[in-house]
Amino acid sequence: VRPLSIPLQGKVALITGASGGIGFTTARALAATGARLSLIARTPAKLTRARDQLLDAGFPPDQVIAIPTDMSDPDAAARAVSATQDQLGGIDILINAAGGAHLKPFHELPIAAIAEDVGANLMATLYTTRHALPALIASQGHIINVVSGLGKRGASSAAAFAAAKFGVQGFTESLRLDVARFGVRVTALSPAGAGVNTAFWDTADPKIRRDQMLAPERIAELILIILTTRANALIDDVTIRTS
C-alpha cells in the first residue's frame, strides 16, 4: 500500500462558507496543495480578511479569489459560480461548507432563524451545486457536502437545523446516484458528537463548553483524504466525532 498522492495542484476548488471555521481551514489546506480557490461567504470584510490571510501566508494573489455572496439567493449563487469559472477557468472541487444554526426549542425559534438555517445549510447547497454541476461534469469533479450528525438523528433544540441537514443528507445520497454516470464523485461529511470549535457556536449556543470539540483542522485533513482517494474508490459518507 502506497500513501495517496493524487495531485490537487492546479485544481479549482469553490468553497462556500470560506471565511471561517471549516471552510477557511479547508481553504488553507487546499491552497498548500497548489489548488486554486474561489472563496465564498456573505460578509465582504470577513471574506477579504480570509483571502488576505492566505496571501500573507505566501500564496499568490491569482491563486485565490474571493466572491462575497449569499448563496441562499439562487441568482446571486449563479453569478458567483460563473464568476469563478470566468476567473479560474472551471471547477474541479466543490465544498459546500456554508451554514449556521440557531439552537432553541422550536416553539421559541423566530421565523427569520428558521429561514436562515434552511437557507444557509440546505438551499445554498442545492443552488450552488446545481449551478456548478455543468462545470463539475466537464471536469469529472468531486463535491463534498458538510452535513452534520443532526442530518441523521434529530435532537431537542435543533429542529430547524436538523430539518435542513436531513435535507442535505438526502440530497447528497440522491445526487451521488444522478451524477455517478458522469464520473462526478459526491461525499457527505458529517461532524458529529461534541462538534467542531468554530464561530458556528457563537450563534448556535454561546454558552456551550468547547474544550471537547474537534479542531476544524481535523475536518480539513479528512477533506484532503477524501479528495485524494484514488478514483476507483469513493469515501461516500463519513462521520467524524471526538474519540
* Cβ atoms < 10 Å from Cβ of 3: 5
Q: Binding-site residue total for ligand NAP (CB under 6 A)?
A: 33
The span from the CA of 160 to the CA of 111, in Å, is: 10
For the chain, how are helix, strand and coil distributed in percent, rounded to 5?
50, 15, 35
Q: How far apart are CA 175 and CA 103, in angstroms?
A: 28
Q: Which residues 203-232 are close enough to bind ligand NAP by CB under 6 A?
A: none
Which CB atom, from 82 or from 140, has the smaller least distance to ligand NAP? 82
Minimum CB distance to ligand NAP, residue 47 (Å): 7
User: Using N-to-C axis directions, what is the helix angle for 124-139 and 74-88, rounded to 10°?
Assistant: 30
Q: How many CB atoms lie within 10 A of CB 232?
A: 5
In the block, which residue shows the cell 457563537?
A: 202
**Residue 22 vs 30, nearer CB to ligand NAP:** 22
Residues in 101-160 that interact with ligand NAP by CB under 6 A:
101, 119-121, 124, 146, 148
Closest distance of CB 27 from ligand NAP, Å: 10
Binding marks (x or -) toward ligand NAP, 31..60, rule CB under 6 A? ---------xxxx--x--------------
Stretch that binds ligand NAP, among 81-89, 99-107, 176-184, 231-239 (CB under 6 A): 99-107
SS3 207: coil
Is 167 a binding residue for ligand NAP by CB under 6 A? The answer is: no
Segment interacting with ligand NAP (CB under 6 A) among 57-65, 175-183, 194-202, 227-235: 194-202
Q: Which residues contact 117 (CB under 8 A, 6 or more apart)?
A: 100, 101, 102, 160, 161, 163, 164
Rounded CA-CA distance 71/121 in Å is 10
Q: Which residues bind ligand NAP (CB under 6 A)?
A: 16-23, 40-43, 46, 70-72, 97-101, 119-121, 124, 146, 148, 191, 195-196, 198-200
